[in-house]
Amino acid sequence: MEEVGCGWLPPLYVRYQRRIGAFVTAYPDELRRLGIDGGRIHEIRGVVDLTAIDRVRAERSRLRATFREKIGAASDAPVALSVGRLHASKGHDVGADAIAAAARAIPGLHWIVLGEGDERRSLEARVRLAGIGDRVHLLGYVRDVLPYYAAADVYLRTTRLEAENLSSYQAMAMGLPVVGFDTGAGTELLVGVGHGLLVPNGDGERMGAAVIDVLTSPDRGMALGERGCLYAFRHLGVDRTIADLTRIYEDLARGQGQAGGA
174 within domain boundaries: yes
- How many other CB atoms are there within 10 angstroms of residue 95's CB atom? 29
**DSSP assignment of 153-165:** SEEEE--SS-S--
pTM: 0.87
262 within domain boundaries: no
Instruction: Compute the mean pLDDT over every residue in the chain, rounded to the nearest whole number.
Output: 92
Instruction: Give CA–CA dist 140/84, Å, rounded.
Output: 10
Identify the band that residue 210 occupies on the pLDDT scale cut at 50, 70 and 90: very high
109 within domain boundaries: yes
Look up the CATH number of the domain holding residue 197.
3.40.50.2000
Q: Which residues contact residue 217 at a Cβ distance below 8 angstroms, ignoring those fewer than 6 apart?
A: none
Q: Which residues contact residue 49 at a Cβ distance below 8 angstroms, ignoring those fewer than 6 apart?
A: 238
The answer to whether residues 171 and 246 belong to one domain is: no
For residue 254, CA distances in Å to 21, 62, 248 come to: 12, 51, 10
CB 196 within 8 A of CB 178: yes
The answer to whether residues 36 and 124 belong to one domain is: no
| Average pLDDT of the segment spanning 8-17 | 84
4 within domain boundaries: no
| Average pLDDT of the segment spanning 200-217 | 97
**What pLDDT is attached to residue 261?**
37
**What pLDDT is attached to residue 262?**
34
Burial class (CB in 10 A: 0-12, 13-18, 19+), 156: buried
pLDDT in tens, 153-199: 999 999 999 899 999 999 999 999 999 999 998 889 999 999 999 99
Whether pLDDT at 3 is above 80: no
**What pLDDT is attached to residue 152?**
97
261 within domain boundaries: no
Could you tell me where the DSSP H helices lie in 120-260? 120-129, 146-151, 166-173, 190-193, 204-215, 222-235, 238-253
Instruction: Give CA–CA dist 70/55, Å, rounded.
Output: 21
* Structural domain count, the chain: 2
**What pLDDT is attached to residue 26?**
80
Q: What are phi and psi of 123, to 5 degrees?
A: -70, -40
Whole domain around residue 163: which residue ranges?
50-235
